[in-house]
Amino acid sequence: MRASMTIGDFSRATHLSAKALRLYHQSGLLTPAAVDARNGYRQYAPSSWPTPGSSVSCVRSACQST
């Protein structure tokens, strides 16, 4: 796996939409490894991957059960 991934690559790998990743970043649930100050592009590290029991996993399962 690469050292960092674009939001699109991370979205495909985690099955979370880019829109959800942006929302999670805004709310502080899932912070990207870096954000380019010039264009706002987010880079995600493998350590950013949501784990079972993480806030993102809990939010995601709550949304799917409704």
In tens digits, what is the pLDDT along the chain, a chain of 66 residues? Answer: 467 899 999 999 888 899 999 999 999 888 899 999 999 999 999 887 766 556 565 555 545 554
Q: For residue 55, what are its two tokens?
A: 């806030």
First to last CA, the chain: 34
- pLDDT for the residue 51: 64
* Helix or strand holding residue 30 (H, E): none
Q: Is 28 left (phi over 0), alpha (psi -120 to 50) or beta?
A: left
How high is the pLDDT of residue 59?
Answer: 57
List, in order, residues 6 or more apart from 11 with CB less than 8 Å away: 17, 18, 21
Q: What tokens appear for 57 in the block? A: 């996993």
pLDDT for the residue numbered 48: 76
pLDDT score, position 23: 92
